[in-house]
Each structure stands twice: as structure tokens, then as C-alpha cells.
Structure 1
Amino acid sequence: MADRIEVLPLEAFPTQVTENIRYGDTDRQGHVNNAVYATYFESGRVDLLHDSLPLLEASGCQFVIARLIVDYVREMHWPGTPVIGTGVLALGRSSATLRQAVFQDGICTAIAENVIVLMDMKTRRARELPEMIRSDFERLKLVAAS
């Protein structure tokens, strides 16, 4: 088994979004079902990408997910308002690696690492990250933990 993803404090994430846990998000064990976390991570990614999405769509490109790895750290229960932190970990030619975490009451409940790839919507092939996106992503890199 691969090593666990490093847990970072909420303050290390340059973007943060709050969600509400719905009663229907829980399973028979009374905790939030593991599949729901993918939706929380999606909310965090959309929040991080929000400013660049109109420009990308105008150029005929969109980000797609190539990889998502999740480590579940502890249970999360209803009711609650988890905070999803998202930041850029690394940049590739046509991709970005993001680190994300879900926190409930200040405690990390899950962490994820995912790779998003910029795709040309006509050719369905990866396209190199434009300089505008690179500079945005540099600004959204994770803050080093002290």
C-alpha cells in the first residue's frame, strides 16, 4: 500500500469552501458515506478553478480529472458544515496536481490528491497550460506548513 497523503492544516490551503452535510449523505453506520467525499472535493476544485473557467471555455478547453486518490482519516457525522481546502501542489505541461482536505470542526476527516488535465474539447487531447493559467496556479499553490 502506498504511503498516506500528508495531512496539512486548513490554513495551508489557499482556497476554502464550506458545504452542508445532508442527512441523506450518511450511511447505516451513521457517518458520511465515502462516495459523498468526491462531491466535496469537486466543490473545492470548482472553487479553485472558478475564475479561469470562462476563459478556458472560450478557448475550447476544459479541465478533466485524470486521477483521484482519497485517504479517509476519520469519520464525519451529520449535522455539520465541513470546510474543503484546495491548493495546487505541482504543475506539469498540461496538468496540475491538487491537494485537498475536508475538515469538520477544525479536524481533518479526509485528504485527496488529484490530477487535472487541460483538454481540448474538439480534439479530446491534452493541451499545454497557457501562461495565464500557470500564473493563476502559482498563486494558488499550497502554503508551506510551519
Structure 2
Amino acid sequence: MRIVIPEERKLVHEMISPIRWGDMDAYGHVNNTIYFRYMEQARVDWISSLGYKVAPEGESVIMINAFCNFFKQLTYPGDILLKTFVGAIGRTSMDVFHTMTLRTEPDILAAEGGSTLVWVDMNTNRSVPWPEDILQKVRA
């Protein structure tokens, strides 16, 4: 099954991540599970750039699902360009998508994926509305 990223989305963040030797598996390419780590780091970097900590205290963001479509094998050495996009924004949830390309081949998609993020009160473990300042930054 392939999940399609919607065309209506907004670019909110970009970062470069190195491919590490330890990211490779016995087949000589980046292990599929590592792509989820790359997306995780992109989400953390983006949320931190908004001025929020990704930590289990007070209110924070949690991921409730994730997917990845693989198109091209990645190998060490190299640098990955990760782009983060926001799709649908709900009262307490937000769809976030990522594209991954080699920095040297920015037009050739290696993988794409996404997740649904929910803003949560960590004390009650219940979803709460997104802080208005995050919504303003995302929609700006």
C-alpha cells in the first residue's frame, strides 16, 4: 500500500542530516527503520524552531501514526535534505509530511512520509487545542 501525500501542503522547515555509517544494514543501504528516525529528527528540529521543547512535561506534541514510501536506496556517505510540510490542521491534530532527497540530488525523491501530530496536556494525557502562537507561525 502506498499512501499519497496531498498536494495542498505548506513547506515549514528544511534541514540537512548526514547519513551515518551505522544507518546501513547488511544489504549495504540505509535500513528502512532509519528513514523514520530521519523524519523524527526533522519533526523535533521543526518543533524546536517554533520555540517549543519536545519533552513530556506540561503540554507537548505526540505522534499518533506514521508512514513512509521508499523510492530510492540511500547509502553512506551522503547528506539528506529533509523538507517538512504541514497539511490539514485540526483543533488538536495536524498532519505533517516529509520529503527526503540527497543534498546532491535535490530533485530525485528518495522517500516521503508523514505523521499525524496531536497537542497533548501531559498531566491529563488528553488532547488539547494547539497553542495559538504555533497556529499563527504555521499559517504565516
* Fold shared by both chains (TM-score > 0.5): yes
Could you give the per-residue CA deviations for residues 65-90 of structure 1, whole angstroms, max 9, x where no partner exists? 00101111111111100111101111
Match for residue 128 of structure 2? 127
Q: CA deviation at 1:16?
A: 0.8
Match for residue 114 of structure 1? 115
Unmatched runs of 5 consecutive residues or more in structure 1: 140-146
Task: Give the 5 Å matches for 1:69-108.
Answer: 69-104=67-102, 105-106=105-106, 107-108=108-109
- Provide the C-alpha distance between the structure 1 equivalents of 2:138 and 2:88, rounded to a whole number of angstroms: 9
- Provide the C-alpha distance between the structure 1 equivalents of 2:70 and 2:23, rounded to a whole number of angstroms: 16
Instruction: Report if aligned partners of 1:5, 1:113 keep a CA contact under 8 Å in 2.
Output: no
Instruction: Report if aligned partners of 1:88, 1:138 keep a CA contact under 8 Å in 2.
Output: no
Match for residue 43 of structure 1? 41
User: What is the RMSD computed on CA atoms of the aligned residues?
Assistant: 2.1
Instruction: Report if aligned partners of 2:71, 2:109 keep a CA contact under 8 Å in 1.
Output: yes
* Residue type at the aligned position of 1:52: G
Q: CA deviation at 1:14?
A: 3.2
Q: Decide which moves more: 102-111 or 79-88.
A: 102-111
Q: Which has the higher strand share?
A: 2
Q: Percent of counterpart pairs with the same letter?
A: 27
Secondary structure of the 2:34 match is: helix
* Residue type at the aligned position of 1:125: R
Instruction: Report if aligned partners of 2:13, 2:83 keep a CA contact under 8 Å in 1.
Output: yes
Q: Which has the higher helix share?
A: 1
With over 3 angstroms needed to count, the CA separation of the structure-2 counterparts of 1:7 and 1:33, relative to structure 1, is farther
Q: CA deviation at 1:52?
A: 3.2
- Provide the C-alpha distance between the structure 1 equivalents of 2:79 and 2:122, rounded to a whole number of angstroms: 35
* Residue type at the aligned position of 2:24: T
Match for residue 52 of structure 2? 53
Instruction: Report if aligned partners of 1:7, 1:111 keep a CA contact under 8 Å in 2.
Output: no
Q: CA deviation at 1:125?
A: 0.4
Q: Structure 1 residue runs of 4+, over 4 Å off?
A: none
TM-score normalised by length of structure 2 = 0.85
* Residue type at the aligned position of 2:12: P
